[in-house]
Structures are given as structure tokens and as C-alpha cells.
């Protein structure tokens, strides 16, 4: 429940800001992918400024997320190894407990019923 409230408190203002940004920056800008020629670029296209800003933010978030994910590879690998070791040790503990339970039962002398009659 708290997670939903927090997401609404964060996402609603963020959505309002994105709409305001889009409305305030509707003017077209020239987007050119040719850094060598400013006079006659090989590719130039007029796009709204808000689109350039939003696409830049999305690409930046994706690149940052990928960089963080790649940087954490060492820790994920260590966690997988630790998890495998814990599973192996738990299986070993269970096997030893089963072995010990079998050994205790076999060491006990058989119960005689002579005194019961």
C-alpha cells in the first residue's frame, strides 16, 4: 500500500512536469548528425525541442543503468557463488543428519520383552 502511495506521489508530479516541458518547448530545432559541416550537413531534420530533451533523458537513463549493471557484475557473480556454496553446505548438513539419525538407531540395543510378562 505504501509503495503505491509513494509511486503516485512521485509519478504524478513527474508526469505533470513532462507535460509542462512538452507544452513550453514546442518550438522546432534543427537536429544535425554531421559535426563537420554546419552550413550543409549530410543529415538535418527539424524536431520539437521537447522531443530532443526527452529522448536525451531516456538514452541517458538507459546508458547509466547499463553502466551500473555492468559495474555490479562482480557482486552478482559473488552472490551466485555464495548461494551455490550455501546450497551445497545445506545438502551436506542434511546428509550428515540423516547419517547420524541412522547411526543412533543402529547403536541402541534391541528392546527385550522378558520383564514385561
71-106 pLDDT, tens digit each:
999 999 999 999 999 999 999 999 999 998 887 655
pLDDT tens for each residue of 1-25: 888 898 889 889 988 988 898 888 8
pLDDT at site 109: 65
Question: What cell was used for 99?
Answer: 547419517
Residue 108 pLDDT level (bands cut at 50, 70, 90): low
pLDDT at site 102: 80
* φ and ψ at residue 66, rounded to 5 degrees: -65, -40
Q: Which of 50-54, 97-101, 105-109 has the lowest mean pLDDT?
A: 105-109
- Give the residue among 59, 57, 52, 50 at the shortest CA–CA distance from 23: 50
Instruction: Reply yes or no on whether the pLDDT at 64 is more than 70.
Output: yes
pLDDT at site 85: 97
Is residue 22 a contact partner of residue 7, using CB atoms and an 8 Å limit?
Answer: no
The model carries a pTM of 0.60
pLDDT at site 74: 95
Amino acid at each position: 500500500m505504501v509503495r503505491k502511495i509513494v509511486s503516485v506521489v512521485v509519478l504524478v508530479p513527474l508526469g505533470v512536469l513532462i507535460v509542462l516541458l512538452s507544452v513550453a518547448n514546442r518550438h522546432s530545432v534543427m537536429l544535425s548528425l554531421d559535426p563537420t559541416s554546419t552550413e550543409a550537413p549530410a543529415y538535418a531534420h527539424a524536431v520539437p525541442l521537447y522531443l530532443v530533451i526527452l529522448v536525451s533523458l531516456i538514452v541517458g537513463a538507459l546508458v547509466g543503468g547499463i553502466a551500473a549493471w555492468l559495474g555490479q557484475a562482480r557482486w552478482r557473480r559473488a552472490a551466485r557463488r555464495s548461494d551455490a556454496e550455501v546450497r551445497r553446505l545445506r545438502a551436506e548438513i542434511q546428509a550428515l543428519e540423516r547419517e547420524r539419525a541412522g547411526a543412533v538407531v543402529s547403536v541402541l540395543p534391541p528392546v527385550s520383552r522378558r520383564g514385561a510378562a
